[in-house]
């Protein structure tokens, strides 16, 4: 295997679904690159990739982030092609997927649940202060 390329892990010797392996490696590659880019562009700081979901044909990949402000979305779109090039260089896959960046809806749902639980514990917690 050429140096710098990432291989797809197996779990305990048993192979698991290729799409799950691709998603995992894609997440690692993008997280590493976003960390490097954050040093140069403050709009990309504090972004955390929560998951990556590729289509079965690997033509598209949705990258879910813990939060996604408008400025960060703009910065990611500006660098989308470059990120795709890095993915193509780092991974051994037939196609390089087109990346789409979205805020992870599970994070927002978790925040709503935490807020409800907080209000159940202390009913005054949700009231605005005077």
- Give the tens place of pLDDT for each residue, 66-76: 887 888 888 99
In angstroms, the CA 29 to CA 21 distance is 12
| Mean of per-residue pLDDT scores for the chain | 81
Claim: this prediction has a pTM higher than 0.75: no
Candidate from 82-91, 93-102, 106-115 with smallest mean pLDDT: 106-115
pLDDT number for residue 99 = 94
pLDDT number for residue 23 = 92
pLDDT number for residue 108 = 72
Report domain extents, the chain: 18-123
103, pLDDT greater than 60? yes
Domain 18-123: CATH class, spelled out:
alpha beta
Nearest to 58 by CA among 31, 18, 28: 18
Mean pLDDT within 109-128: 71
pLDDT band at 3 (very low <50, low <70, confident <90, very high): low
**Tens-digit pLDDT profile for residues 13-60:** 444 577 888 899 999 999 999 999 988 888 888 888 999 999 988 899
pLDDT band at 120 (very low <50, low <70, confident <90, very high): confident
């Amino acid at each position: 295997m050429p140096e710098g390329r990432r291989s797809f892990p197996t779990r305990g010797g048993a192979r698991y679904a290729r799409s799950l392996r691709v998603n995992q490696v894609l997440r690692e590659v993008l997280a590493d690159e976003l960390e490097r880019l954050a040093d140069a562009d403050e709009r990309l700081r504090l972004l955390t990739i929560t998951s990556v979901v590729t289509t079965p044909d690997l033509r598209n990949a949705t990258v879910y982030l813990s939060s996604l402000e408008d400025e960060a979305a703009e910065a990611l779109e500006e660098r989308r092609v470059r990120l795709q090039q890095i993915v193509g260089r780092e991974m051994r896959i037939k196609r390089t997927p087109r990346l789409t960046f979205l805020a992870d809806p599970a994070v927002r749902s978790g925040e709503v649940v935490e807020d409800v639980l907080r209000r159940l514990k202390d009913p005054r917690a949700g009231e605005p202060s005077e």
